[in-house]
Structure 1
Amino acid sequence: MPARLPSWAWVTGLTTGAIAAVVVLAVQADQGTKPVAATTRPSASATADAKPSAKPEERKPAVPADSGAGRRIVYSLGEKRVWLVDASDTPRRSFAVWPGTVAPDPGTYTIGKRTPATTGSDGVPVEHIMYFAQKSGVFIAFSNAVDGSSPPPAEPDAQTGGIRITKPDGKALWTFGSAGTTVRVVE
Structure 2
Amino acid sequence: MPTRKTLIAAALLTTVLMVLGASPAHAAELPPGGTFLDDDLMVEEGYIEAIAAIDVTRGCNPPANDRFCPEKYLTRAQMASIFVRALGLAPTTVGPFKDIEGNIHANDINALAATGITKGCNPPENDDFCPDRAVTRGEMAAFVARGFEVPPSAIDAFADDSDSVFEGDINALAAAGITSGCGSASFCARDPLPRAQMAVFIGRALGLTPMVPPERPPPPYPAVGDGKRIIYSNSQQRVWLIDQDNELVDTYLVSGRLGIPHNGTYSVYSKSVNAWAPYGGITMKHMVRFVRPGTWGNRWAYGFHSIPRYPSGKPMQTEAEMGSFRSGGCVRQPDHKAEALYDWASIG
When normalised by structure 1's length, the TM-score is 0.59
Q: Distance in 1 between matches of 2:274 and 2:211?
A: 44
CA contact (8 A) 2:257 2:329 kept: yes
Q: Is the partner of 2:260 in helix, strand or coil? A: coil
Alignment correspondent of 2:146? none
Look up the match of 2:142: none
Flag the 1:31–1:52 CA change in 2: closer, same or farther, 3 A.
closer
Instruction: Pick closer, same or farther for the CA change 1:76–1:103 going to 2, 3 Å.
Output: same
CA contact (8 A) 1:102 1:138 kept: no
Gaps of 5+ in 2: 1-153, 160-173, 181-196, 201-207, 319-324
More strand by share: 1
When residues 53 and 95 of structure 1 are mapped into structure 2, their CA distance, relative to the original with a 3 A threshold, is: closer
Residue 83 to residue 69, structure 1, CA distance change in 2 (3 Å): same
- Alignment coverage as a number of residue pairs: 140
Query: Distance in 2 between the 1:140 and 1:74 partners?
Result: 14
Alignment of 1:163 with 2:298, yes or no, is no
Which residue of 2 is the match for residue 150 of structure 1? Answer: 317
Task: Say if 1:140 and 1:102 are closer, same or farther in 2 by CA, change over 3 A.
Answer: farther
Of 51-60 and 79-88, deviating more is 51-60
Q: 2:274 aligns with which of 94, 100, 117?
A: 117
Aligned-residue offset at 1:153:
4.9
- 8 Å CA contact 2:234–2:259 kept in 1: the answer is no
Q: Tell me the equivalent position of 2:198.
A: 39
Contact 1:98 1:150 in 2 (8 A): no
Say if 2:248 is the partner of 1:87.
no
- Structure 1: give runs of 5+ residues left out of the alignment: 1-26, 42-49, 155-159, 181-187
Give how far 1:150 is off: 2.5
Higher helix share: 2
Q: Secondary structure at the match of 2:198?
A: coil
Q: What is the rounded CA distance, in whole Å, between the counterparts of 2:210 and 2:302 in structure 1?
A: 47
Match of 1:126 in 2: 284
Cα gap change, 1:163 to 1:53, in 2 (>3 Å): closer
- Of 217, 226, 232, 1:75 maps to 232
CA shift in 2, pair 1:118/1:82, >3 Å: same
Change (3 A) 1:39 1:107: same
Contact 2:275-2:286 within 8 A present in 1 as well:
no
- Larger of the two Rg values belongs to structure: 1
Residues 149 and 168 of structure 1: CA distance in aligned 2, closer, same or farther (over 3 Å): farther
Identical positions, percent? 24
Q: 1:63 aligns with which of 221, 229, 235?
A: 221
Give the deviation of 1:75 after TM superposition. 0.6
- Relative to the length of structure 2, the TM-score reads 0.34
Q: Which amino acid aligns with 2:218?
A: K
Deviation of 1:149 (Å) = 4.1
